[in-house]
Amino acid sequence: MKFIRCCVGSVLCAVFVPHGLAVAAETKLDEVTVTATREAQAMKESSHTVGVIGADDLQDVKPSHPAEIMERVPGVHVNVTGGEGHMTAIRQPLTTKPMYLYLEDGIPTRSTGFFNHNALYEINLPQSDRIEVLKGPGSALYGSDAIGAVVNAQTRPAPLKPEAEVVMEGGEFGFQRLLVSGGNTIGDNGYRADLNLTQTAGWRKATAYDRVSAGARWDSTLQNGASLKMVLTGSEIDQQTAGSSRLSADDYYNNPTENYTPISLRKVGANRLSAAYEKESGDSLLNITPYLRDNSMTLLPNWSLSYDPTIYETGNTSQGLQVRYRRDFKPMRTRLITGIDIDHSPGSRFEQSINATQTGNIYDSYNTGVTIYDYDVTYVGVSPYLHLEFSPSTATRISLGLRYDDMRYEFDNHINTATTTATPTHLGRTLTYNQISDGEATFSRLSPKLGLTHSFNETLNGFVSWRQAFRAPSEGQIFRPGSTVDTLSLKPVVADSIETGLRGKSGKLTYNLSLYSMRLKDDILSYDNPDTGNRETVNAGETRHTGIEVGLETKPADQFTLHVAVSQATHTYEQWQPSAAVNYSGNEIEMAPGLMSNVQLIYTPLFLNGGNLALEWIKLGEYWMDPANSYMYQGHDLLNLRASYRLGKTIKLYGRLMNLADKRYATAAQYSAATAFRPEKFEYAPGMPRTAYLGLQVDF
């Protein structure tokens, strides 16, 4: 109760005190969501908290980074790690761990075993039609990785008549972007194509970024009344990854454009093809969606140069199938959904140690050393599920779900594990790269779900849900053990979550509120061993994540709209004692902001001819910089300004000024205590200074 009172107090202060207003993009009571059940469902009958970012918002903002749009959903924070790279915090600390399931049109963008925390840059967000964020463990229709949230970006459908759109945008630090989109429907067939060309020199030294994304969609109505949707999307990304490179406190304040790791790099390829066949017949619906994926990445990570300097190539191809059958029954409006997900994803890793040289703090050159990992690994997942909904009364709807995930990794190591463990020397210590013998790693879990929604009246709806989920360790956590002795014994992370909330409308005010408590057992964490200086991967025991999220939307006056999104959370180590001498149990988790809020006040006067002015305020609360809770980052406040003006019906001029007050802030802050292998360090990744952009949109 003490936590709840604290959360409610913080949220009410942030919502109702003028300087604490924030922005919201949570779903309204009368909206429809597709992510929870993989087809349209009234929000008032969903026992999940789902945030929706619609086509109008995406068209208006045209985000150049996921952080520019995702934070409009209460309880969502996305930071910037360079280019369009990011770390995400949704009911979790800011993390690179596989805690989220990223989808495009309901299909995971990557296989469970090959998670990428930057997955949103593999999706063409500015040309998407809609983004839905299902917070907390996924429904019975989603499996491993769906713990913090399911993020589903939906592609734009084919237009009913000919249309085309060209967007040209430029900004400081060499930012240039061209967006082209168009399509048409002829008879029973609709077509759309999209192209996104983006590049920037980066505001810090050696942080250039280039992106090419393209997509095509075909919507067809077949002679038997069924529909077919085929989607082909692809992205090629080339960036210098040092945008997230942290600096000393002195350089952070006085020389923020510095970059200690200009040798780092990241080259990414992500391609997907799917064909969704759907046939509705009376009270039943059948959906069959086969898909193909191809993902590749070459990476020299900047964050590990000081303790694990390597360069590696990973890749995987996927052949998958989603089958879903839905049947409706008249008694109690019963709906039964059953289905199965099948994923076969062969992959590989080739990794070499590097010998990097430094001039002062700068890693300015390197050469490759010995091969430390060279293996093939195939992920296979078969997951049947069952989802049932019924209404014992006109106002109440109950949902139950059950999913069984059966997973295995088939591993083939090309290095002789008995003779070729690599142990190069780095910074006065020995780096040990343990090897795993050929074989299999298997995981299975039965995950139940239970939810209830109740309409108190036409304008007020409440819900409560209990959900379990689990996450199998990724291929890198198991088969790339580094100095960890026994990664084969890593256990899956198991999540147990309970949530309740209200959604309603009063006059001009639309609001939603949710409270949640989630416990993670056997959370997989990385631990810096002070005795060896090595980073080890272990199961932590237990962590707890509790919070409250509030979203508001209202019109305080004619031509003004106010959106509010705010959340207060606490993330703690309930049980984690990584060694006999170190016990973090009871501490708050590092890089876990408590208060996260976002406000947007939009002014739409007649003289802008359909355009608007929008002032956005973002607040990130304080968080601990280390698991020992020794030092705290105090958080930050940012202001952004956007404006648009229509020159007739077909031409739109727009601009944005980010970080209006030119505030120095950190996208990530970390403290490391002194050990025998390194001195005490305070490190900060500086955020972008005040930056201006100008764009022109032409519609045909």
Range with the lowest mean pLDDT among 275-289, 304-318, 631-645? 304-318
Residue 26 lies in a domain: yes
Summarised one tens digit per residue, pLDDT across range 412-437 is 999 987 644 555 565 566 788 889 99
pLDDT at residue 3 tops 60: no
Residue 188 lies in a domain: no
Give the pLDDT mean for 227-237. 97
Summarised one tens digit per residue, pLDDT across range 35-49 is 778 888 888 888 989
**Percentage with pLDDT > 90 across the chain:** 75
pLDDT at residue 149 tops 70: yes
Place 104 in a pLDDT band, splitting at 50, 70 and 90.
very high
pLDDT at residue 8 tops 70: no
Name beta bridge partners: 328. Answer: 335
Q: Write 251-258 long-range contacts (CB < 8 A, 24+).
A: 252/664, 252/666, 252/684, 252/686, 253/664, 256/204, 256/664, 256/686, 256/689, 257/203, 257/204, 257/205, 258/204, 258/205
Neighbours of 697 (CB within 10 A): 19
Residue 369 lies in a domain: yes
Q: What is the pLDDT of residue 144?
A: 72
The count of domains in the chain is 1
Residue 190 lies in a domain: no
Residue 189 lies in a domain: no
- State the SS3 of 613-657: EEEEEEEECCEECCCCCCCEECCEEEEEEEEEEECCCCEEEEEEE
Q: Residue 254: phi, psi to the nearest 5?
A: -110, -20
Q: How far apart are CA 532 and CA 534, in angstroms?
A: 5
pLDDT at residue 457 tops 60: yes
Give the pLDDT mean for 437-441. 93
> Average pLDDT over the chain, rounded to whole?
90
Q: How far apart are CA 390 and CA 396, in angstroms?
A: 9
Task: Return the higher-pLDDT residue of 7 and 50.
Answer: 50
Give the pLDDT mean for 386-397. 96
Give the pLDDT mean for 508-529. 90
Q: What is the pLDDT of residue 17?
A: 36
Q: How far apart are CA 404 and CA 402, in angstroms?
A: 7
Domain holding 686, by residue range, is 2-183+196-699
Residue 191 lies in a domain: no
Q: How far apart are CA 495 and CA 407, in angstroms?
A: 17
The domain that holds 173 is classified in CATH as 2.40.170.20
Q: What is the pLDDT of residue 244?
A: 64
Summarised one tens digit per residue, pLDDT across range 555-599 is 999 999 999 999 999 999 999 988 888 899 999 999 999 999 999
Q: How far apart are CA 614 and CA 255, in angstroms?
A: 31
Residue 383 lies in a domain: yes
Q: Residue 227: phi, psi to the nearest 5?
A: -120, 150
Place 63 in a pLDDT band, splitting at 50, 70 and 90.
very high
pLDDT at residue 699 tops 60: yes
pLDDT at residue 280 tops 90: yes
If residue 250 lies in a helix (H) or strand (E), which one and from where to where? helix 249-254
Q: What is the pLDDT of residue 654?
A: 97
Q: What is the pLDDT of residue 679?
A: 83
Place 28 in a pLDDT band, splitting at 50, 70 and 90.
low
Residue 305 lies in a domain: yes
Summarised one tens digit per residue, pLDDT across range 461-478 is 999 999 999 889 999 999
pLDDT at residue 153 tops 50: yes
DSSP label at 254?
A: H
First-residue to last-residue Cα distance in the chain: 57
pLDDT at residue 31 tops 50: yes
Q: What is the pLDDT of residue 524?
A: 85
In angstroms, the Cα distances linking 108 to 115, 123, 143, 293, 472 are 10, 11, 10, 9, 15
Q: What is the pLDDT of residue 23?
A: 36
Extended strands (E) in 360-438 = 362-390, 396-413, 425-426, 429-430
Place 250 in a pLDDT band, splitting at 50, 70 and 90.
very high
The structure's pTM equals 0.92
If residue 698 lies in a helix (H) or strand (E), which one and from where to where? strand 691-699
Q: What is the pLDDT of residue 459?
A: 93
